Chains A and B, each alone.
Chain A
Amino acid sequence: MINRLARLPWGALVLVAAFLVPAAGSRFYTFLANDVAIWALFATSLNLLVGYTGLVSFGHAAYFGIGAYTTGLLMKKLAAPFVLAFPAAGVVAGALALVFGFFCVRLTRIYFAMLTLAFAQIVWAICFKWNELTGGEQGMPEIPYPDFAWLDRLASVPLVGGWRTAEYFYFLTLILVALCLWALRRIAGSPFGRMLTTIRENAERAEFIGVNVRRYELAAFVLAAAFAGLAGGLFGIFNRGVFPDFAYWTKSSEVLIMTLLGGMGTFYGPAVGALALILLNQQITSYTEYWPFVLGTILIVLLFVFPGGLAGAAALIGRRLGRPRRA
């Protein structure tokens, strides 16, 4: 039973279900689903670094913020089309990560975390103070949506046409996030990805068998940052504005919490974590304004009781249920 469930093409099923959200639910659910999709990409990109390579970054929000500002600036100030502005977010975030990462991967453990934090705070300080370019503390409101006017020709086609811009953007987000996740999955499963796991398990040993550990770590750092940048590019448009706190250190810890909540050991864990955290937030904030208190409590329980996150807990239950069949 469990085995048969595991063999279903979950990725495709979730994607189809996500496409049906606007048709089935209200605008509010579409909004939530869009939020989840973007954060799922952001958290999965972090997992490539933390979960697969074992590098704890405390400044991943920097690349999310850079991506958001890149797409936002290109689309708002230069009126660039989305096809250009979106990949640019990944390229700029990745390029910046190449510079920052060059220094970061030379440090280990807590020093690595501190240097990523320092670089992220530099990015934040620049976004916060460079009024002419970034709008400073006030941020940059009114990022335009991509142009969906050409879709009006399809207006009469059922299910495909006739949606509002926000819903078209949601479909676009789904397609792009699905592509990015597919790419990340390919990377994680490739020989390169396996080598990252080897480095996580035993960097010294990897060095002995002739692996250039720093170069692999740098590559993982750049890739993770590029995908975080793409997530940020989408988020700026979705949020209808880009603000300096996108790059603030508390954002970095938020995405770490998502990753941990879902489970770092698995590929889809962080995405599940993003879903769980956003739905939980939405539920709890309707009862109380003290969401951080609840989140903190959940996190403490999680750390002490389920260090493997939701995915780890599910795998544990799955094994328990699956055992009698094999016996």
Chain B
Amino acid sequence: MPDPSFVFAQSVSGLTAAMFLFLIASGLSLIFGVLRVLNFAHGTFYMLGAYCAYQFMVWLRPGPGKFWLAALAAGLVIAALGGLVERLLFRHLYGKEELYQLLFTYALVLVLSDAAKMIWGTQQKSVTRPPELTGAFTVFGATIPDYNLLILLLGPAIALAVWYVLQRTRVGRFIRAAALDRETLGALGVNVNALYTWVFVMASFLGGLGGALISPMRATVPGMDTEVIVEAFVVVVIGGLGSFWGTFLGALIYGQVLSFGILLFPRFSIFAVFALMAAVLIVRPWGLLGRPLK
């Protein structure tokens, strides 16, 4: 039996990873739930969010509170980019075959991640932790950096905020209605096209913010987008494509499987994650908390 404080530290690190995965996967799930499109480019939005945070930090110079400003600005830039992409290109692919939509989002991955390479080069970029959160403290003998603790609080807070928007606001009701029946909603006089753009903007904001928030913890490098998007796919598939709390659950499961998988079978933890994804798809294709598609 391993040391309990070690187990605790491991599960906290899994939880932290889960919060980031939730931030990125929730946008992916939102787009799938409403627009019925799997957006490969969502991982690239996440990477661009990290690069933007780095860039804003270069411009703003480090100082108290600056990081939060940079993270928010990065999220907004990515949200605007997402809105633009939806308006100009994506819109024309609704209702086409899945293959065309998937390949279009993959083409976006190629274009955007190469553009990032042109702008920021291939060297890894890192952002220093915000000065007010450089410390760490000890719980049950495990050391947790302040920044990770903040992420642990921020993740559920953002989840609640998104849930509130979806469940309790007028726009949220429209979005849920659009996910169920777009034609009827349009016939009732709602501008569905504009609604779709807003969904895309919101999802891109979440992805960009996730990237910005992870930039002080992990170096930003080219190729992180294709890695993270597959992880996000695993999360949404486990939880249920299009299910909001399913995504949260999926992220929690993924985080724990990964961090304990590394302890139990150090070499096959990635394997365990994909095996879990395949198992869920075989037994319950619509995921743990999702509903079957009509």
Report A's interface with B, CB cutoff 8 A.
Answer: 50, 56, 58, 103, 106-107, 109-111, 113-115, 117-119, 121-122, 125-126, 128-131, 249-250, 253, 256-257, 260, 290, 292-293, 295-297, 299-300, 303-304, 307
Contacts and interface: CB of A to CB of B under 8 A. Distances in A.
Contact of A110 (B104, B111, B241, B267): B241
Contacts of B45: none
Interface of B: 38, 89, 92-93, 98-100, 102-104, 106-115, 117-118, 226, 230, 233-234, 237, 241, 267-268, 270-271, 274-275, 277-278, 281-282, 285
Kindly name the residue among B109, B275, B282 whose own CB sees the greatest number of chain A CB atoms within 10 A: B282
A103 B103 contact: no
A295 B110 contact: yes
Contact of B98 (A110, A128, A304): A110
Contact of A293 (B115, B230, B270, B277): B115
Contact of B271 (A113, A122, A131, A250): A122
A107 B285 contact: yes
Nearest to B268: A129
Given A293-B111, A293-B114, A114 B282 contact: no
Given A56-B98, A300-B104, A303-B103, A129 B270 contact: yes
Contacts of A56: 98-99, 102
Contacts of A292: 110-111, 113-114
Given A109-B98, A121-B230, A125-B271, A115 B281 contact: yes
Nearest to A264: B99
Contacts of A111: 281, 285
B122 to A, nearest CB: 10
Contacts of B102: 56, 58, 113
A16 B85 CA distance: 46
A103 B278 CA distance: 9
Given A110-B38, A119-B278, A290 B117 contact: yes
Given A111-B281, A256-B103, A293-B110, A118 B98 contact: no
Contacts of A119: 278
A307 B267 contact: no
B111 A118 contact: no
Nearest to B234: A118
Contact of A129 (B114, B267, B281): B267
Contact of A114 (B89, B103, B110, B237): B237
Contacts of A50: 99
A250 B106 CA distance: 9
A175 B8 CA distance: 60
B108 A296 contact: yes
Contacts of B115: 293
A264 to B, nearest CB: 8
B274 A121 contact: yes
B98 A296 contact: no
A250 B271 CA distance: 18
A254 to B, nearest CB: 9
A128 B99 contact: no
A299 B282 contact: no
B278 A118 contact: yes
B233 A103 contact: no
Contacts of A114: 38, 233, 237, 277, 281
Contacts of A129: 267-268, 270-271
B277 to A, nearest CB: 4
A56 B108 CA distance: 19
Contacts of A125: 268, 270-271, 274
A118 B241 contact: no
Nearest to B282: A103
Contacts of A300: 89, 104, 107-108, 111
Given A125-B268, A260-B103, A303-B104, A118 B110 contact: no
A300 B101 CA distance: 10
B221 to A, nearest CB: 16
A56 B96 CA distance: 14
Nearest to B286: A111
A194 B234 CA distance: 35
A297 B282 CA distance: 36
B240 to A, nearest CB: 11
19 contacts: A56-B98, A103-B278, A113-B38, A113-B102, A115-B282, A118-B237, A121-B277, A249-B226, A249-B230, A290-B117, A293-B115, A295-B107, A296-B111, A296-B112, A296-B114, A299-B106, A300-B104, A303-B104, A307-B100
Contacts of A110: 38, 98, 241
A195 to B, nearest CB: 21
Given A103-B281, A121-B230, 10 more contacts: A111-B281, A118-B237, A118-B278, A121-B274, A125-B270, A128-B270, A293-B115, A296-B108, A296-B112, A300-B89
Contacts of A296: 107-112, 114
B98 A122 contact: no
A121 B226 CA distance: 12
Contacts of B107: 295-297, 299-300, 303
